[in-house]
Amino acid sequence: MGNHRQILLKNIDHPDQHTVAGYESRGGYSVIKKAMGLDPLAVLEEVKKSGLRGRGGAGFGTGQKWSFIPRNSGKPIYIVQNADESGPGTFKDRLLLERDPHLVIEGQLICAWAVQSNFSVIYIRGEYGYPYIRIQRAIDEAYAKGYLGENIFGSGFTHHMIVHRGAGAYICGEETALLNSLEGKKGQPRLKPPYYPAAIGLYDCPTVVNNTETLAACVAILENGGEWYAAIGTEKSTGTKLISASGHINKPGIYEIEMGYPLLQFIEEECGGIWKGRNLKGVMPGGSSFPILRADELAGVNIDYESLSKAGSHVGSGGFMVMDDHTDMVEAALNVAHFYAHESCGQCTPCREGGHWIEKIFGRISKGGGLPGDVQLVESICGQVAGHTICAFGEALAWPAQSFIRKFPEEFRGRISEAREGRVISRESMNADVGGSH
């Protein structure tokens, strides 16, 4: 088993970690206290030095993002923590919110001090009822202890923090949609430019939007220094990453690994290998919004930004979905396509129409009614969607669909020609394939 430093999860198994007393007993809130003794720009500098990249999917430099916040605009500066976590295959933020909520709060306070913000919001997906209770209680405790509110540590610094519940819309994870949602509007993305949150964010004020895991990582960075963090992982992918591992593996769950860890070793050792003694067929390493990789493409691939990009996919949110060699890729592609068709916010024609169209085509191929040109048709629709929409949902829809037909063309074509030749073979859908979790 890889011997990974546990930075984010080091205290996760303590049963009282979610309480302020438990958190304090393991050094909690000492890092923000120390950080507030430093100049805010020095705090920002540590985060920059750490090389930390956003854990919500895009992988943008966190320190760099914070440095875009104008300090003298005369407007309030806001922080919004993106705890919407609705991307298929991703369930790591939930763990932090449930089991170590004060870590999340302390990370957010570090950001607040660095950018000198007096108000922040944790936007949590509506379905996360229990995590909501945990984080809300932790905030109440932090207020009672004086870690939140006015004059924190007698410094004169004020920071207020609230939790906002979403109500079931994947697109609200996109940062500008999230801000619209928070303002009481429909959660539809805004056009970038001009709506970069750092400049024109919540109520048109400068706003930092960061993922839960990103903010949580800032605590260890300020505790041990940016250079310490940068020394972990690889040059461009520093630190550790939470991987949400699911699908056909023996040990699904959340693993904290050091960036740069070999992907196949991760499957074998951490995930306990493929279930039922079967073989690996493919993996979506970065959640369903990035391309699938075939088993034979994985030799030498590591879990980090450089290696996964080179292999044609992405670290994304770390939503690591594994499929065994019994998986019907037409069904899998259809399942993913249904998600995107269902979740489009409907603002852009290519996304709204393209999503349904792709689903329809995969659907007819799956049912034995595929047409000879269908594979090319999906290619062409994907080309018309990616790069032609307001937000990156367009790519999230197109890239995976395209990757399924490119990586497993024989399955799609085979299904189509069988149908054309009247040899419809009744297959068990992949949903019939259960048993492992019994």
Partner 1 sequence: MSAAAAQRLTEIKKRYPHPHSAVMSALYLAQEELGVIDQRGIQWVSEQLEMAPVHVQEVATFYTMYYKQPVGAYHFQVCRTLSCALRGSKHLTEHLKKRFHIKPNEVSADGKWSYEEVECLGSCGTAPMCEINDTYFENLTPEKLEAIIQRIEKEKPELRLSTLTDSLGDGLQGQPKSEVR
Ligand X SMILES: Cc1cc2nc3c(=O)[nH]c(=O)nc-3n(C[C@H](O)[C@H](O)[C@H](O)COP(=O)(O)O)c2cc1C
Q: Is 128 one of the binding residues for partner 1 (CB under 8 A)?
A: yes
Residues 306-345, one symbol each (x = binds partner 1 by CB under 8 A, - = not), give -------------x-x-x---x---xx--xx-xx--xx--
Q: CA nearest 390: which of 347, 361, 355, 338? A: 347
Taking CB under 6 A as the binding criterion, the range among 53-61, 106-114, 148-156, 158-166 that sits at the site for ligand X is: 53-61
Give whole-number Cα distances, 276 to 146, 283, 326, 327, in Å: 52, 17, 11, 13
Q: CA nearest 308: which of 329, 289, 291, 295? A: 291
- Residue whose C-beta lies closest to ligand X: 54
Nearer to partner 1, 63 or 123 (CB): 123
Q: CA nearest 153: which of 41, 34, 67, 234? A: 34
Least distance CB 416 / ligand X (angstroms): 30
Q: Are 301 and 263 in contact, with CB atoms under 8 Å apart? A: yes
Coil, strand or helix at 265: helix
Taking CB under 6 A as the binding criterion, the range among 32-40, 232-240, 276-284, 385-393 that sits at the site for ligand X is: 385-393
46: which 2 tokens?
Answer: 């540590």
Rounded Cα–Cα distance for residues 431 and 221 (Å): 43
- 208-237: contacts with ligand X (CB under 6 A): 209-211, 214
Taking CB under 6 A as the binding criterion, the range among 84-92, 296-304, 355-363, 423-431 that sits at the site for ligand X is: 84-92
Least distance CB 78 / partner 1 (angstroms): 8
Q: Answer with the entry of partner 1, ligand SF4, ligand X, none that 68 interacts with (C-beta below 5 to 8 A by kind).
A: none
Nearer to partner 1, 181 or 214 (CB): 181
Residues 53-82, one symbol each (x = binds partner 1 by CB under 8 A, - = not), give -----------------------x------
Rounded Cα–Cα distance for residues 106 and 23 (Å): 10
Token pair 């997906």 in the structure block, residue: 125
Rounded Cα–Cα distance for residues 83 and 28 (Å): 21
Q: Is 129 one of the binding residues for partner 1 (CB under 8 A)?
A: yes
- Contact residues toward ligand X (CB under 6 A) are 54-58, 60, 82, 84-87, 171, 173-175, 209-211, 214, 391-393, 396
